[in-house]
Amino acid sequence: MPATGRKISYQEFLHRDYEFFRAPLAPEMEFYDTIRSGNLRKVKNLLNEPFHTKKGLGVLSEDPLNNLKYHLTITIALVARFCISGGLSQAEAYNLSDYYIRLTDEARSPEEMSEIHKEMCLHYARLMLALQKSTITSKAVITCIDYIYEHLHTRITLETLSSVTNLSAPYLSRLFKKETGYSVSEYILNKKLETAKSMLASSDYPIAEISASLAFPSQSYFTNVLKKDCGMTPGQYRSANRNTDHNLHRALMR
pLDDT tens series, the chain, 254 aa: 445 555 545 555 554 433 333 334 456 777 888 899 888 888 998 898 899 988 877 888 899 999 999 999 999 999 999 999 888 888 889 889 999 999 999 999 999 999 999 999 999 999 998 887 776 678 899 889 888 888 888 999 999 999 999 999 999 999 999 988 899 999 999 989 988 888 887 778 899 999 999 999 999 999 999 999 999 999 999 998 875 444 444 444 44
Domain residue ranges of the chain, discontinuous segments joined by +: 3-134, 139-242
* Separation CA 104–CA 117 (nearest Å): 9
* Separation CA 174–CA 192 (nearest Å): 21
Residue 8 falls in which region: left (phi positive, over 0), alpha (psi -120 to 50) or beta: alpha
Residue 52 DSSP label:
G
Residue 59 burial (10 A CB sphere; 0-12, 13-18, 19+):
exposed
CATH for the stretch 139-242:
1.10.10.60
Query: Which value, in Å, is the radius of gyration of the alpha carbons in the chain?
Result: 19
- 193: part of which helix (H) or strand (E)? helix 184-202
